[in-house]
């Protein structure tokens, strides 16, 4: 149940999970810290996000949970890139979607004889061509 995010927890686990979450377990604290990190994306601007991050980082690094501290330090190493989202709210979702389509083409064909054939298939299926008059 710990692997579910709060919004994705199935209804049948809700009661048991609430009991677990209220318990004084290290796992419960780690889960709460992890889930609270989602709140960063609710910030409206860079300044608000930076203040939010400072509070979360303090909580995570003072949690006395070494794995949580390790993850917090890792995120801190990349915090400039994370904060860039609040200046330029762009994600790589479109490129990931395109890459997924290309991988599907490769799987369906069971491989291409050469790169030229793969390139033609990508342009045909993903190029946005209008084939009908």
Is residue 11 located within the same domain as residue 73? yes
Is residue 65 located within the same domain as residue 103? no
SS3 33: helix
**DSSP result, 43-93:** --SHHHHHHHHHHHHHHHHTSS-HHHHHHHHHHHHTHHHHHHHHHS---SH
Q: How many domains does the chain have?
A: 2
Q: pLDDT tens for residues 18-33? A: 787 787 788 888 888 9
Is residue 32 located within the same domain as residue 82? yes
Is residue 57 located within the same domain as residue 13? yes
Is residue 101 located within the same domain as residue 59? no
Q: At what angle do helices 26-36 and 14-22 cross, to 10 degrees?
A: 110
Q: Model's pTM, two decimal places?
A: 0.64
Q: pLDDT tens for residues 68-113? A: 999 999 999 999 999 999 998 888 888 899 899 888 888 888 878 8
């Amino acid at each position: 149940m710990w692997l579910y995010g709060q919004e994705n927890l199935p209804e049948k686990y809700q009661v048991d999970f609430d009991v677990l979450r209220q318990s004084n377990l290290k796992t419960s604290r780690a889960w709460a810290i992890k889930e609270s990190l989602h709140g960063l994306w609710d910030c409206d601007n860079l300044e608000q996000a930076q203040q939010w991050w400072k509070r979360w980082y303090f909580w995570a690094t003072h949690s006395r949970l070494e794995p949580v501290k390790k993850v917090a330090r890792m995120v801190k190493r990349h915090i400039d890139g994370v904060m860039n989202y609040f200046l330029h709210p762009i994600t790589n979702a479109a490129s990931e979607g395109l890459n997924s389509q290309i991988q599907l083409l490769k799987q369906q064909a069971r491989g291409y004889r050469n790169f030229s054939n793969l390139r033609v298939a990508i342009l045909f299926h993903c190029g946005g061509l209008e084939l009908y008059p």
